[in-house]
Structure 1
Amino acid sequence: MGKDKHLFCAECGGENPLHAKFCRVCGHRLNTQTDSSTPALTTTSAHMEAVTPQSLQINILLKQRYRIVEQIGSGGYGKVYRAIDTEFMDRQVAVKEMIQHGLSPQELAEAADGFKREAVLLATLTQSNLPSIYDYFSEHGNWYLVMSYIEGETLESYVRHRGGSLPVDKVIQIGIQLATVLSFLHTRRPSIIFRDLKPSNIMRTPEGQIYLIDFGIARHFKQGKAKDTIALGSPGYAAPEQYGRAQTTPQADVYSLGIVLYQLITGIDPSISPFGPKHLDLPNHPQLKILIQCMLELDPKRRPSSMGNIQRELQRIAAGKVVKASQHGNRQPPAQHSSPVRAAHPLRPFSSGPKRAQLPQQPLQRNAARVEQARLLHPASSFAPQLVSTPPIAEVVPVAWGRMLNFMRSMTGIWREKSY
């Protein structure tokens, strides 16, 4: 890794292979020439080490309060450390550092803005799948964010240690937690869009609790804005609308969650073919397959309408309130009644008959995908299909004829009485 070379886009900062001519993140043309007016975009890791400041020393005291214990992660514009809060019962905290060295004025402004935004966002949010914010400050030319320390590992590391994929039942539970916290963010006023959902930005504790981390590019959705100013997100996980074409909405997080679920099930890295076909083989979970396929629609309007819908659908699947594949895929139209229908007496109303036939509670296979997608596109209090059951014609006709003949008989009697 130390000898690899990369091209970094001057437009969005995205990392690209050395031979690339266009940024795989935003599509901006990459300039590989170096002159006095344009900084070189070819950077070796050795050069990065030369211009990047060293990690904070162990036992150094920040703000005369937070004692650094070890570095536990890095990414974006800085590093993350485990520290001890010496003024609050020596509790463990996570200290996120934003390094300002080596950034252009524009990059520095963007980084500082994103960092402050992250601090403000987290400070106003309280949810079980979000870390708590304790403090933020500037020291030695860098910004620092102090938050709750999460004992665990990233979802990326967790999956890698288990062969690259997870059992479907475990993926469903992870999806429920992610949909819950994203629904919480989307229903704030104004909405908060995470925009960079991927396994490396998700923490998992040994007990299975999921946390969203790294809000560096999350931002408030501003109604009426034509499009985002720059393309943000990670290749393979970002929705098509995040590539500078249109305003990013909560539907972008819907797409990213679908990609994460797809990767956890299949073990396929989505960055290899960002918008290529996504094939899922889930014979025992047909509803989950339909749900993920709807989430991965390139057109935002064809995706599930809300994270709340996705959360409830995943909970319904986890509870087993679905038809098994063998029942759902091989369902046949209801058979005709084997017992004969009793004929009505011509002068008496039909008093009793066979029980009312019920329509199947689940749609036929040829209509399943269409019904499921239509149901997910519109918020509903219940995900169960609302079908109306009507009696068969064999029951209705005898009753109608019997009542009509009985009425004619009574009218004939009245006419005869008047005749006398």
Structure 2
Amino acid sequence: MAPLHRRLLLILAVVAVSGVLHAGAAFVGTPAGGDAGALLAVKASLSDPAGALDAWRVRTTGNLCRWPHVDCAGNSTAVAVEGLNLGDLALAGGFPVAVCSLSSLRHLDMSSNDLAGPLPACLAALPALETLNLASNNFSGEVPAAYGSGFPSLAVLNLIQNLLTGAFPGFLANVSSLQELLLAYNSFSPSPLPDNIGDLAALRVLFLANCSLTGNIPLSIGKLQNLVNLDLSSNNLTGEIPRNIGNLSSLVQIELFSNQLSGEIPSGIGRLKKLQQLDISMNQISGEIPEDMFAAPSLESVHMFQNNLTGWLPAMAGAAERLTELMIFANQIEGALPPDLGMNCPLESLDVSDNRIFGPIPATLCAGGKLKQLLLLNNMFDGEIPAELGGCRSLTRVRLPFNRLSGEVPPEFWGLPHVYLLELRGNALSGNVDAAIGRATNLSSLIIDNNRFTGVLPTELGNLTNLAVLLVANNSFSGTVPPSLSSLSQLLALDLSNNSLSGEIPRSLGQLKNLTMLDLSDNHLNGSIPVELGGIHDMNVLDLSHNELSGGVPAELQSLKFGVLNLSYNKLTGHIPSLFRAEQFRESFLGNPGLCYRICSKYDDVYSHRARVQMIVSILVVTAVILLLTVAWYTYKYKMYHKRAAEIDSQNSEWVITSFHKVEFSERDIVNSMTENNLVGKGGSGMVYKAVVRPNGDALAVKKLLAGSMSSKKNDTFEAEVQTLSKVRHRNIVKLFCCLTREASRVLVYEFMPNGSLGDFLHSAKAGILDWPTRYKILVDAAEGLSYLHHDCVPAIIHRDVKSNNILLDADFRAKVADFGVAKCVGDGPATMSIIAGSCGYIAPEYAYTVRITEKSDIYSFGVVMLELVTGKSPMSSDLGGKGLGSWVATNVEKNGVESVLDLKIAGQFKDEMCGVLKIALLCVKHVPNNRPSMRFVVRFLLDIKGEIKPKTLKVAEAAPAIRFGGKE
């Protein structure tokens, strides 16, 4: 467009805005003019539920520069507004066009609000505007074409996470002053990147993740010599990575993951002296890794997983000096790892799983003393586990299964103090499990099945009080089942099958009330089946087959809901309890000749045919009398009952019930409960009813999804809830008994939590009821539930919507985590989400620039819950001054001391404990995810406050003062 035409457009836009502003000023009746009048018009056009702009008033226009969120420039005679900082203030409405009359405006931040409607074209006419941040709102429609011909001074354009549509605004490549272009996570239609993107010579940040980009990455991108951050992830880009990417000498970060890129990795990346992070994972890239890639001197993180890479890992990887993460799993890489890998760098995470790598495990992997995650599964590693790894005390997660490892495990390796997952299954390892295992008190999963281990299982296993999974099947262990296992109160799965264990089954195993699977099959166990096993009410799998057990089948086992029961091929005698005579248990008792399928009696052989006939006749006579006595009553009620029964049967016949626990009710019981009288709650996803079912009068919570629940999003919510809760078993996770489905309806049946949600007791009419000891108990319960999801589930589960309303309370105020509608299993790496999940006030700040989540996002949300319990304030409270709860707490603690934020109504003698929890919470809401503690450590910190565990060298008190909000840490 010719310069004259462009100038005319800008003049017309300013004139139009002036007219709108004058109309707005007349409407509000304010005599103020200039910038003050514009700001008053802005305030009038916005919904401000938090009162963030209350101080903007007509009578204070003379003190314009003292208004909150306003930056001024000029002198006493000429004051102009040059900055508006309106981010994260809960503002709503359309964009206030009066902003466009602030001719001196340089910086505008209205991010993280609830603004909607189209983007204003008039902003392009502001001659001084340098920064425009409208991220995390609900702006819709297309990006105005005027943005491509205006903005003479614009350096930063941030429209991340809105609802923008239409073709990708390639015309923004004409805004030559741009230094940061951030359009990620919008719903543009499939469009290519503009070929002239390289004309933005000043560009430093290009963040276009999840923008539906298609086609090749333009070659002109190689002209962006000032580019620091290149993020084109989660699009549909094809073709090769441009060869000239090695010319971008300023690059610090390259994010191209989750596209359809192909071809080979270009050489020259090693020339990028400033490159720290490279992520090209989840593409179709093939060929060998360039030898010079690891020559980049600042390289810290390399993610190349889930591609088609071949060849060997370059030897230069061993010389990398700053490498902390190397994630190359799920490729076709072969050969041996460099023998000095880790020798020269502070390596923290190594995942080469699912490749074809052979040779020994390098002994140098932990030379830097930082290695936390070692994942080598599904390869062909051979030889012994290096003795040097036994001294790697930083290790937390070790997975070496399905390789060709042999020899004895180094004794120190068994006792690593911080490892929570040790998986060695599917190798040829031999020797004993060393007694040093008792020092690995952080272990929650010990998986060593399918090896050649011998000797006895050490009694020191009983020291592993955090252990949830113990799998040692298919080895050659001998001796007895250690009675010390009964002290593992957190144990969920115990598999000692196919060994050479002997002796009796310890009766003390009945103390393992959380156990869901017990497999002792294929051993030489003798004695009777302990009746105490019938008290493990969550037991789903019990396999004692192929032993030498004697005596009867305990009737107490009938109280358990079995998915698998196998007592076959033992020496059991007596009668089979009545419940187990059902068809589903037909093969559960094979190979026990002494068992009877009906009640055994010494008189069985003398029963005569005549006696049986007499018994049958007697039964028939009694039955006939009963029928005659009741026929009159049924005749009288028939018509009314038949009509009602027909309606119920019509409904129930269409329902399909899927049970996940033992249930003693039918779908009719559930369907009949969904009446107005039983309604106890209603939310965005459905209605909740209280159902009291026979025969025991137990109360259940019945959640029926609303009529729109068959949309894909709601159906995904239902599927996520079912897939998650049907598998997990923990006392602090709400129990899902079953689900009911039919063509147009979805129903979930949970245990009933009579005290409702924690949010009700904090922010409703019930506020103030909970004293501090009760709040503390609730915190510990919820933390243990989340810790189970993060550390004990394989794969790990991220809740993604942790908040006080999703923490439910039973009759004793014990807490359980609920609502798993957006939960995700994340395997061994971060999950990439297409949309942001969570609730306002609880969402982790990293969502502003990425949707690749880890468990750290849950930890942030739980930190907010902790702050709620300590302060008594809601994350959306209007008296937080428009800040997030974490930011408000940190600011007030720094200015006025810790007690200024405590809920003094309940503090009293518990101030020290509340301050301790406050410090833990502030660690959890740190802005950098890696600086937050794991949920396992949050539990430890909380227990340490009351001295329930021995004090650790955890410097919580020293860490908290270093927290800063609203800026870099």
Name the CA distance, whole Å, in 1 between partners of 2:836 and 2:699.
35
Q: 2:780 aligns with which of 168, 173, 176?
A: 176
Task: Mark the CA change 1:28 to 1:372 in structure 2 (over 3 Å): closer, same or farther.
Answer: closer
Q: 2:782·2:807 contact (CA, 8 Å) conserved in 1? A: no
Q: Are residue 235 (structure 1) and residue 840 (structure 2) matched?
A: yes
Q: Which residue of 2 aligns with 1:369?
A: 957
Q: Which residue of 1 aligns with 2:567?
A: none
Q: Secondary structure at the match of 1:278?
A: helix
* Stretches of structure 2 lacking an aligned partner (at least 5 in a row): 1-46, 48-89, 96-110, 115-134, 143-164, 166-646, 656-666, 878-882, 900-910, 963-969
Deviations 1:14-44 (A, max 9, x none): xx875165764881433499xxxx9xxxxxx
Deviations 1:107-150 (A, max 9, x none): x1121012112012111111112222222122361211122222
| Letter of the 2:837 counterpart | L
Task: Mark the CA change 1:91 to 1:175 in structure 2 (over 3 Å): closer, same or farther.
Answer: closer
Task: Mark the CA change 1:368 to 1:95 in structure 2 (over 3 Å): closer, same or farther.
Answer: closer
Name the CA distance, whole Å, in 1 between partners of 2:920 and 2:741.
45
Matches within 5 A, 1:335-414: 369-370=957-958
Matches within 5 A, 1:17-416: 19=93, 24=113, 27-31=136-140, 63=655, 64-65=667-668, 66=670, 67-68=672-673, 70-85=678-693, 89=696, 91-101=698-708, 108-139=711-742, 141-159=744-762, 160-163=764-767, 166-187=770-791, 188-224=793-829, 227-243=832-848, 245-272=850-877, 273-274=883-884, 276-279=887-890, 281-282=898-899, 284-285=912-913, 286-304=915-933, 306-319=934-947, 369-370=957-958
Q: 1:24·1:235 contact (CA, 8 Å) conserved in 2? A: no
Q: 1:164·1:264 contact (CA, 8 Å) conserved in 2? A: no
CA shift, 1:165, in A, is: 8.2
Q: Secondary structure at the match of 2:839?
A: coil
Name the CA distance, whole Å, in 2 between partners of 1:167 and 1:92.
27
Q: Secondary structure at the match of 1:172?
A: helix
Q: Which residue of 2 aligns with 1:393?
A: none
Task: Mark the CA change 1:261 to 1:32 in structure 2 (over 3 Å): closer, same or farther.
Answer: same
| Letter of the 1:276 counterpart | S
| Letter of the 1:370 counterpart | E
Deviations 1:360-418 (A, max 9, x none): x999xxx87336899xxxxxxxxxxxxxxxxxxxxxxxxxxxxxxxxxxxxxxxxxxxx
Q: Which residue of 2 aligns with 1:399?
A: none
Name the CA distance, whole Å, in 2 between partners of 1:249 and 1:183.
13
Task: Mark the CA change 1:94 to 1:319 in structure 2 (over 3 Å): closer, same or farther.
Answer: same
TM-score (norm 2): 0.27
Task: Mark the CA change 1:17 to 1:289 in structure 2 (over 3 Å): closer, same or farther.
Answer: closer
Task: Mark the CA change 1:362 to 1:127 in structure 2 (over 3 Å): closer, same or farther.
Answer: closer
| Letter of the 1:185 counterpart | L
Task: Mark the CA change 1:220 to 1:96 in structure 2 (over 3 Å): closer, same or farther.
Answer: same
**Aligned residue pairs, count:** 291
Name the CA distance, whole Å, in 2 between partners of 1:166 and 1:150.
16
Q: 2:705·2:746 contact (CA, 8 Å) conserved in 1? A: yes
| Letter of the 2:808 counterpart | M
CA RMSD of aligned residues (A): 3.7
CA shift, 1:309, in A, is: 1.0
Task: Mark the CA change 1:293 to 1:84 in structure 2 (over 3 Å): closer, same or farther.
Answer: same
Identity of aligned residues (%): 24
* Stretches of structure 1 lacking an aligned partner (at least 5 in a row): 6-15, 39-58, 324-360, 375-420
Q: 1:179·1:311 contact (CA, 8 Å) conserved in 2? A: yes
| Letter of the 1:256 counterpart | S
Q: 1:195·1:253 contact (CA, 8 Å) conserved in 2? A: yes
Name the CA distance, whole Å, in 1 between partners of 2:91 and 2:961.
38
| Letter of the 1:255 counterpart | Y
Deviations 1:167-216 (A, max 9, x none): 44333222111110001111211111111111111111231211212111
Task: Mark the CA change 1:210 to 1:246 in structure 2 (over 3 Å): closer, same or farther.
Answer: same
Q: Secondary structure at the match of 1:137?
A: strand
Name the CA distance, whole Å, in 2 between partners of 1:124 and 1:320.
30
Q: 2:780·2:943 contact (CA, 8 Å) conserved in 1? A: yes
Q: 2:736·2:751 contact (CA, 8 Å) conserved in 1? A: yes
Q: Secondary structure at the match of 1:237?
A: coil
Task: Mark the CA change 1:167 to 1:192 in structure 2 (over 3 Å): closer, same or farther.
Answer: same
Name the CA distance, whole Å, in 2 between partners of 1:20 and 1:170.
44
CA shift, 1:296, in A, is: 1.4
CA shift, 1:290, in A, is: 2.3
Name the CA distance, whole Å, in 2 between partners of 1:277 and 1:127.
34
Name the CA distance, whole Å, in 2 between partners of 1:166 and 1:76.
27
Q: Secondary structure at the match of 1:277?
A: helix
Q: 1:169·1:318 contact (CA, 8 Å) conserved in 2? A: no
| Letter of the 2:139 counterpart | L
Q: 1:166·1:265 contact (CA, 8 Å) conserved in 2? A: no
Q: Which residue of 1 aligns with 2:615?
A: none
Task: Mark the CA change 1:242 to 1:271 in structure 2 (over 3 Å): closer, same or farther.
Answer: farther
Name the CA distance, whole Å, in 2 between partners of 1:174 and 1:368.
21
Q: 1:233·1:242 contact (CA, 8 Å) conserved in 2? A: no
| Letter of the 1:95 counterpart | V
CA shift, 1:84, in A, is: 3.9
Deviations 1:79-118 (A, max 9, x none): 11112445x65533221111243x7x8xx11210121120
> Which one has more relative contact order, counting CA pairs under 8 Å at least 6 apart?
1
State the structure with more CA Rg: 2
CA shift, 1:226, in A, is: 6.7
Name the CA distance, whole Å, in 2 between partners of 1:368 and 1:123.
36
